[in-house]
Structure 1
Amino acid sequence: MNQPQLSDFNNSDLRIPKASDGQMVGLDHLPYGVLIADNKMLLSYANRGFSEMTGFSESEIIGRTCSFVQGEFTDKQTRDAIRVACKNGTTFQGEILNFKKDGTPFWNELTIEPMRNSAGQVEGFIGISRDITQRKSDEIARTEELLILQKHSQAAPAMGYQFRIRPDGSISFPFIGTASYVIYGFSPDEVKANPSRLFDCVHPDDSKRLWDSVLESQENLTPWIQDYRINLSGQAIRWLHGHSQPERESDGSTLWHGFVEDITQRKNFEEQIKQLAFYDTLTGLANRILFYDRLNQAMIASNRSGHFGAIICIDLDHFKPVNDDYGHAAGDAMLTEVATRLKHCVRGSDTVARFGGDEFVVMLSELSALNSESLAQAIQVAEKLLAALSADYSLIVKHDGMPDEIIRHISTASIGVSIFQGNQLDADQILKYADKAMYRAKKQGGGLVRIHE
């Protein structure tokens, strides 16, 4: 609501009234405080709005100066300005921190106007008060927010910003931190001149997701939080994290206040942790933990689709002599080569894992929905794996300060196959069946594929 003007009162109002005057009744219905004082600044009237604003009753107000709502933290310069204006018979307009009866502080937007008689002499004063605490809180919050934005903008690699989408869909950056050059390679002026620059460099695989999340935040006025990649010319792909809070403006625009920071190092660290937790450090294949997770997912998918999956357990024949005769470096080289060959024999949707030593497991998903056909498909892949692993090995072993050593080796593998459909069996049982078939192949001399019967 707008601050009322003293011109809203006619001349007959501008005299020193008594609280019993009938003309005062209307003032009690106004949504702001009205005070009237004599030329010594002693209050002779306060409307109901002022009493409700401060918590003081009319009897506690009449006969006092306005200083009773002032306190230790009321600005001294503002108090002095009020006294000077009243002494000189001039108008005061300003904001002052006052205190309610219970000690609660509130911000008062105050206008004090002198009332003069026909001779031009000041007979008293009329004041209009409005509680603007909420507005001041918003202003303080906005100031603190801007300071945070500026702090972020100066502390690379974080960039504070304000981003706006207008009702016509056009975009702008009213504020952009100086770290924009460090993060995006563009100065703040370049970004303001062409706001689309920051969206054009988003990785193609992340672009739609990023923009959809902005539109969702705009529609629901929910915080925008996203991790996404940018691809700058001549630089490695980098990860950014954005976090901002939207607000609707009076013209229908949406304005976000937030920051963007470079999280590439964090993402790389997370990836390293992921590698250590879910992947074999030597071969880069899935480890037992990740394999079980994917097997459980495959069982759920199989239960929905009705298609079979298969587990293929693999144990290398004649691997121990490599370690014994040439050392662990040669053994590691062979295991790495085995992993490469296995991956080349299966689809990207299949999983190849190393459980330890020379034991490998392959999971095939989305085979036929028919038992016999799916088993035939699994056996075909197993035979392909056996052929790949039976080819001669040329292992390159590196030695510090010495030429690389090339070791020739011939090996085969013992392979066991088990198919599954849905969750008729648990994961351990499926693996157990494939493992038993593999040991049967091993007992029969190796270099064989055997199925669970």
Structure 2
Amino acid sequence: MISSELLTDLLAPFGDGPIEPMAQARLQALMDAVPVALMEFRLQDGRLTLLAANAAARRMPGLGAVRNPGADASEVFDLLAGTALMDQLEGVARIGAPLECRQVVRELGRLLLAWDLSARRVTHDCIVVTVRDASEAETLRAALAASEQALEEVRRELREQTEVFNTMESLARTGHWRRIEDPGETVLLWSPGLCDIAGFEQQEWVDPERAVSGIVPEDRHVFDRARQPGTGLDVEYRWRRPDGEVRWMRSRVRRTLPRDGVQVVMGVVQDVTDEHRAAEQLREQLLFIQRIASRIPGFIYEYRLHSDGTTSVQYISEAVREFMGVEPHEVTADHGVLLLRVVPEDLPHVQRTAITSVRKLVPWQCEYRVRMDDGSIRWHMTNAIPHREPDGSVVSHGFTMDITDRKRAAQEIERLAFYDALTGLPNRRLLLDRLQRSIAACQRTKALGALLFIDLDNFKDLNDTLGHDVGDQLLAQVATRLVGCVREADTVARFGGDEFVVMLETLAPDLQDAATQAETVAEKLLASLNQPFELDGAQHYSTPSIGITLFGDERLSVDELLKRADLAMYQAK
């Protein structure tokens, strides 16, 4: 191929005269044989016009009026008319500085032309332009640039993913390693995250001996067992960092299937020191709670009403064994065993109040009876405070204690305050309270009631002659007979000394009928008390005097009623 420089020299004039026609024809044939597009332009009146073009130029796709001598350069290079090429070619004609460039035109991403273009001045007003098709080279260059750009994008994404992965490892206090084994050598690779939690400087290649140097000797067997083929289980061991700090590590090891004689072993390591510390704190707190629970007079528990309506007891202290006769694990498995201990009469109240507490989130306090294994009845009191969890469930923390002794003491206090110690009958205070309530009830129901005031004749002589013990025996037997003669709803009270009061309620609303009912009871009492009493092995007769007064037909005070009954009794004497 003839270079553009040689062609330019050939076209240069040998003298002042024109080139001979024969030589011109030969030169034209020579130019047409050149596979490079050659064109000659002249700068005339400020315009570059085409003088001649060889066959390669006429065949060159993308050249416009190349077959029209005298055409303007902008018409020849019509696809480049709007570029700086026209000014550059005019500059070659005026100044004589050669031009070497590549012109590329694309439309909608499609390559229209790619030329390697050169221009040289051959006379003071003529230039020769050579054009070579560079489409293939430009396509390869563009493809190479696109591949390099795609490769750089992949590298960038890989860097970003690696950075994200390393950051995630750092945040999770986790790392990973790979050991590649082949017959020739073994290579151990550590991730940055693993180097960080192990306390090593950042490095990819780690010596196998150094990789296990931090494992506490007492835990080395645990790690070695995990490395055995086919395990792949989580193992935990302690690791001593170069700075002396001991951390807990959790590791999982897995082997891949050998490929081409290469065995790859991979592992993930996580720093779980904080988890171990939290677990230890939780164990200490639980031990503290258990110690407290074992020393308080009762048992504590945690009851949960789940959002799906199911219930469970997730914790109950060991004291439930003593207080309820059941094992803690039995309660956590099925807390219904506790309800089986509750006395059936008290169970509805316990369930109703417990459900109300959980639904309304109000504190719960309930007193109830439980039956123990030996058949004895004990009083319990449970206090619980419910609260709602974020998941919608309701948790109640409660405490149950035995209040049997307190109940008995309260009953004894009530007995001493409102009952006669000798006869067990209501005393004067309780009688007055019941009489006040009965008067109010009569006003509402329009029913009548009656007071029977009873006095034992000659009781003082009995006390003086036979002694107070015999007198007490008589009073106790009298109380028993009086109770046996009246209804359960009526009241028999010891008013004081040898005086008793019987209060009859809900008598007929008619005054005459009520009086008849009261007299009938009085006769029954007299008949019973006139029977002989067995006192110290001897029979004794005691006659009573009974005074009767009705109430409910008019508003009278308690004192007025008692005075009337007392007066009626003295009239009976």
TM-score by length of 1: 0.61
- Indicate yes or no: 2:569 matched with 1:441: no
Give the SS at the match of 2:423.
coil
Instruction: Name the structure 2 match of 1:224.
Output: 364
C-alpha contact (below 8 Å) 1:152/1:159 kept by paired residues: no
Instruction: Name the structure 2 match of 1:137.
Output: none
Shift in Å, 1:321: 2.8
Q: 1:320 and 1:164, CA in 2 relative to 1: closer, same or farther beyond 3 A?
A: same
Q: Trace 1:367-446 onto structure 2 (pairs within 5 A).
A: 367-395=507-535, 405-421=536-552, 424-442=555-573
Shift in Å, 1:240: 0.6
Alpha-carbon separation, structure 2, partners of 1:217 and 1:267: 24
What's the CA shift string for 1:336-377, capped at 9, x where partnerless?
Answer: 111111111112211111121100111111112222222211
Instruction: Name the structure 2 match of 1:350.
Output: 490
Q: What residue identity is the alignment partner of 1:177?
A: S
Alpha-carbon separation, structure 2, partners of 1:406 and 1:203: 44
C-alpha contact (below 8 Å) 2:365/2:382 kept by paired residues: yes
Q: Trace 1:50-69 onto structure 2 (pairs within 5 A).
A: none
Q: 1:88 and 1:360, CA in 2 relative to 1: closer, same or farther beyond 3 A?
A: farther
Alpha-carbon separation, structure 2, partners of 1:349 and 1:147: 56
Shift in Å, 1:144: 12
Unpaired runs of at least 5, structure 2: 1-159, 161-195, 203-281
Q: Which is worse superposed, 331-340 or 243-252?
A: 243-252
What's the CA shift string for 1:249-278, capped at 9, x where partnerless?
Answer: 344332210100001111111111111111
Instruction: Name the structure 2 match of 1:314.
Output: 454
Alpha-carbon separation, structure 1, partners of 2:545 and 2:532: 16
Instruction: Name the structure 1 match of 2:443.
Output: 303
Q: Which is worse superposed, 309-318 or 168-177?
A: 168-177
Match of 2:318 among 178, 181, 195: 178
Shift in Å, 1:151: 5.2
Shift in Å, 1:199: 1.1
Match of 1:264 among 387, 404, 424: 404
Alpha-carbon separation, structure 1, partners of 2:304 and 2:285: 16
Identity of aligned residues (%): 43
Alpha-carbon separation, structure 2, partners of 1:330 and 1:277: 25
Alpha-carbon separation, structure 1, partners of 2:498 and 2:389: 65
Q: 1:234 and 1:162, CA in 2 relative to 1: closer, same or farther beyond 3 A?
A: same
Shift in Å, 1:89: 12
Q: What residue identity is the alignment partner of 2:406?
A: R
How many matched pairs?
Answer: 300
C-alpha contact (below 8 Å) 1:149/1:159 kept by paired residues: no
Give the SS at the match of 1:260.
strand
C-alpha contact (below 8 Å) 1:149/1:161 kept by paired residues: no
Q: Trace 1:28-427 onto structure 2 (pairs within 5 A).
A: 150=290, 153-155=293-295, 157-395=297-535, 405-421=536-552, 424-427=555-558
C-alpha contact (below 8 Å) 1:312/1:416 kept by paired residues: yes
Give the SS at the match of 2:507.
coil
Give the SS at the match of 2:397.
strand
What's the CA shift string for 1:291-339, capped at 9, x where partnerless?
Answer: 1111111122222211111111100113223212221111111111111
C-alpha contact (below 8 Å) 1:210/1:226 kept by paired residues: yes
Alpha-carbon separation, structure 1, partners of 2:358 and 2:524: 54
What's the CA shift string for 1:189-240, capped at 9, x where partnerless?
Answer: 1222221111121112211111111011112111001111112242321101
C-alpha contact (below 8 Å) 1:155/1:179 kept by paired residues: no
What's the CA shift string for 1:370-425, capped at 9, x where partnerless?
Answer: 22222211211111111111111012xxxxxxxxx413100111001111117711
What's the CA shift string for 1:24-79, capped at 9, x where partnerless?
Answer: xxxxxxxxxxxxxxxxxxxxxxxxxxxxxxxxxxxxxxxxxxxxxxxxxxxxxxxx
Unpaired runs of at least 5, structure 1: 1-10, 12-83, 91-141, 396-404, 443-453
Q: What residue identity is the alignment partner of 2:538?
A: I
Q: What residue identity is the alignment partner of 1:214?
A: A
Instruction: Name the structure 1 match of 2:53.
Output: none
C-alpha contact (below 8 Å) 1:149/1:259 kept by paired residues: no
Q: 1:174 and 1:304, CA in 2 relative to 1: closer, same or farther beyond 3 A?
A: same
Give the SS at the match of 2:346.
helix
Alpha-carbon separation, structure 2, partners of 1:144 and 1:217: 32
Q: 1:385 and 1:248, CA in 2 relative to 1: closer, same or farther beyond 3 A?
A: same
TM-score by length of 2: 0.49
Give the SS at the match of 2:537.
strand
Alpha-carbon separation, structure 1, partners of 2:285 and 2:538: 66
Q: 1:89 and 1:338, CA in 2 relative to 1: closer, same or farther beyond 3 A?
A: farther
Q: 1:423 and 1:220, CA in 2 relative to 1: closer, same or farther beyond 3 A?
A: farther
Alpha-carbon separation, structure 1, partners of 2:331 and 2:446: 53
Q: 1:88 and 1:214, CA in 2 relative to 1: closer, same or farther beyond 3 A?
A: same
Q: Which is worse superposed, 337-346 or 242-251?
A: 242-251
Alpha-carbon separation, structure 2, partners of 1:271 and 1:423: 36
Alpha-carbon separation, structure 2, partners of 1:250 and 1:365: 58
Shift in Å, 1:145: 10
The higher relative CO (CA closer than 8 Å, separation ≥ 6) is in: 1
